[in-house]
Amino acid sequence: MKKDKIAIIGLGYVGLPLARLFATKFPVVGFDINIDRISELMSGVDSTLEVDNKTLQSVLVDKNCDSNGLFCTNELDEIKDCNYYIITVPTPVDKNNRPILTPLIKASETVGSVLKKGDIVIYESTVYPGATEEDCVPVLEKVSGLEFNKDFYVGYSPERINPGDKEHTVEKILKVTSGSTPEVGEKVNELYKSVITAGTHLAPTIKVAEASKVIENSQRDINIAFVNELAKIFNLMDINTHDVLEAASTKWNFLPFKPGLVGGHCIGVDPYYLAQKSQEFGYNPEIILSGRRMNDSMGEYISSEVIKLMIKKDIRIKDANILILGITFKENCPDVRNTKVVDVISALSEFGVKVKVHDPWADEEEVMNEYGLSSLRALPKDKFDAIILTVAHNEFIGLDFSILKKEKSVIYDVKNILSNDTQDKCL
Ligand SMILES: NC(=O)c1ccc[n+]([C@@H]2O[C@H](COP(=O)([O-])OP(=O)(O)OC[C@H]3O[C@@H](n4cnc5c(N)ncnc54)[C@H](O)[C@@H]3O)[C@@H](O)[C@H]2O)c1
């Protein structure tokens, strides 16, 4: 019997670690439309830093074959003889926060064009309940000319990895699985079970599995929105929010969320997928959307807090030099997608201040292309009227702020990682 062969479609933060993992037990072909990404991966380098180069190189094979290992390509022909297709392409929102399914549809067209009888297509991208069967399956059917649940089958297994987290790597996170029939659910579950050491949970239907993922991120978003609201309230009362949270966290069932900016392509985006589907069913999701509004308001709030502190210290606002420490969407990770630090910068710019950005993790070119901002990897040599620590990169913890601040200056610590002596205020 021929060994299972897996194609992974989309080799980003989710697809590459998964492809690497499966390649330890199966022949895997990684497919991506981005030729630069293919070139870097085939040269043994992962610029997302999710898979270290040595680990990547240990599974790479230089040509498509039927033995274990990973071959990466942008050639459609190379995925023709696979029998599992796992789709891990982006699911962003547009400027009005409506889901963009284009990458999913395009990837489904790609897979549909090589689909054969007996194949199983598994979606991992985060979506609303129903997207796999109602939006993607019709594309697979149309392009392949095959019949769903007779000639080919689908599964859904949401990804739960946390970029930059070297502890909870893909194999160590329990994985939810599902299939379009009970038998296919079992098959999909067995496939993942063979590599995920943390185990699997077979959900009864694809919609349940889809819903489970989108609510994980929506729940985090709402919890953070609640503590962001607390931060605004306690700030008015002149109470330190972190002290309150520390005290409350001594109760066993208090959830230890921290206030902050909610960026990235998951927590700040996925709730809109659920909201959209909910609205299609005629229900307006008040809690989900008010959580989103609260979290999206934090950039402007932080900027106005800093300006108020500067005014209190008699620091001239117009042309003041402000240093932003961190532009990535989270700590110790190079991902700048949908970073909300740009909201802080754009709100500050309205006051006529001059902003410099330093981030040892962010790719300078990517920040320029994405946001039209220059971000420096090297620490600037200037002195600043205000410094805002926006991202808790390890590099910032022991930073000598005395070399960066003017005699009269403000240090605002969004993440509260600096000592009380160093910071003027935290969120
Ligand atoms: N990054 C995370 O932490 C994370 C965690 C859990 C779930 N997710 C979800 O996983 C999905 C993928 O996210 P990601 O962060 O890996 O995205 P990503 O942008 O890092 O990677 C996606 C890759 O897909 C490629 N691609 C786009 N369209 C394609 C197509 N039609 N055919 C082939 N390749 C294509 C892109 O070139 C890119 O390399 C999203 O739905 C996301 O919400 C992400």
Q: Which of 36, 88, 216 to mutate to test the pocket of ligand 1 (most atoms within 8 A of CB)?
A: 88
How far apart, in whole angstroms, are the C-alpha atoms of residue 290 and residue 106? 32
Distance from Cα 16 to the centre of ligand 1, integer Å: 9
Is 266 labeled as catalytic in the residue annotation?
yes
Q: Which of 49, 102, 157, 159 to mutate to test the pocket of ligand 1 (most atoms within 8 A of CB)?
A: 159
Ligand 1, residues at Cβ distance < 6 Å:
9-15, 31-34, 37, 88-91, 103, 106-107, 110, 124-126, 159-161, 163, 265-266
Per-residue pLDDT for 157 more than 90? yes
Distance from Cα 92 to the centre of ligand 1, integer Å: 9
For residues 384 and 409, is the Cβ–Cβ distance under 8 A?
Answer: yes
Per residue in 141-154, pLDDT (tens digit) is 999 999 999 999 99
How confident is residue 1, by pLDDT bands cut at 50, 70 and 90?
Answer: low
What's the whole-model pTM score?
Answer: 0.93
Per residue in 4-25, pLDDT (tens digit) is 999 999 999 999 999 999 999 9
Catalytic position from the list 82, 136, 266, 426: 266
* Burial class of residue 322 in the structure, from the number of CB atoms within 10 Å of its CB (0-12 exposed, 13-18 middle, 19+ buried): buried
Instruction: Please state the atom number of ligand 1 nearest to the C-alpha of residue 37.
Output: 39
How far apart, in whole angstroms, are the C-alpha atoms of residue 157 and residue 45? 27
pLDDT given for residue 165 in this prediction: 87
Per residue in 268-282, pLDDT (tens digit) is 999 999 999 999 999
Distance from Cα 178 to the centre of ligand 1, integer Å: 20
Per residue in 81-115, pLDDT (tens digit) is 999 999 999 999 999 999 999 999 999 999 999 99
Per residue in 191-231, pLDDT (tens digit) is 999 999 999 999 999 999 999 999 999 999 999 999 999 99
pLDDT given for residue 192 in this prediction: 98
Per residue in 338-383, pLDDT (tens digit) is 999 999 999 999 999 999 999 999 999 999 999 999 999 999 999 9
CA atoms lying within 13 Å on the CB side of residue 257: 18
Distance from Cα 257 to the centre of ligand 1, integer Å: 27
Q: How many CB atoms lie within 10 A of CB 53?
A: 12
